[in-house]
Amino acid sequence: MRERRRLRMGLLALVSLVLLGAVPLYFGMRTLSRDPVFDTLDALDVPSWAATKTVDNVSGSRWCLQDCRLRERAVESDQGWKQTVAVYEQALAKDGWRRWKVDRCPEEQVEGSYTCWRRDELTLDLWVRDPACTPPPVDGEPAPSAPPAPAAATCTGSLVSVKVRNAIDDERTGPTPTTDPSLTGEDPFPTLTDDPLGEPTPSPS
């Protein structure tokens, strides 16, 4: 009987240790695998129609080993891009983000609305535009260049793209290189003439 009691106590202690270690391990692994920036984006105060479908993607290292982390989020909205961008900009400002007017925002002219934002050590690019109404390929054939009329009637809403980077890894936060000729210095190479031997050097008298 004593051996059975000891065995039961040992099993209970082992199960307790496993449970006590598994719970912190689970939440720790969840914290490491889930980027907190996405939690911040989830907390944005936008209506449900402005985030009907969300797809997240992340690349790079959280500790900026070789490449810093890039967080990308694609969102579908039921309303047009003008209504959608208004609620997103209001939500970002409410959450502490500030408009960032900087060159190369965007890199090239795009449709819809493209704005840049900063908060603490992060930068954020917000691009809201009309959806792509081209239907997907059928039976392996390429998609047509123009959608048929019925598909165009159901192509509504807008698309939202969000990119969040570490400010230290965003090249737009650094100084812009200048091409001022006064900073290039003198040309170390002499100007060549037609005479391959050059002018004779006068000898000292």
Bridge partners of 77? 158
Q: What is the pLDDT of residue 41?
A: 95
User: 43: Cβ–Cβ under 8 A, 6 or more apart, which residues?
Assistant: 95
DSSP track, 62-98: TT-SSSB-EEEEEEEESS-HHHHHHHHHHHHHHTT-E
> Residue 45, Cβ neighbours under 10 Å: how many?
10
Contact assessment for residue 123 and residue 167, using Cβ atoms and an 8 Å cutoff: yes
Percent of the chain whose pLDDT exceeds 90: 46
The mean per-residue pLDDT over the stretch 106-126 comes to 95
- Better pLDDT: 193 or 164: 164
| pLDDT tens, residue by residue, 155-180 | 789 999 999 999 998 999 876 555 55
Contact assessment for residue 111 and residue 129, using Cβ atoms and an 8 Å cutoff: yes
With 0-12 CB in 10 A as exposed, 13-18 as middle and 19+ as buried, what is 155? middle
Res. 34: pLDDT tops 90: no
Bridge partners of 128? 113, 160
| pLDDT tens, residue by residue, 10-22 | 777 777 676 665 5
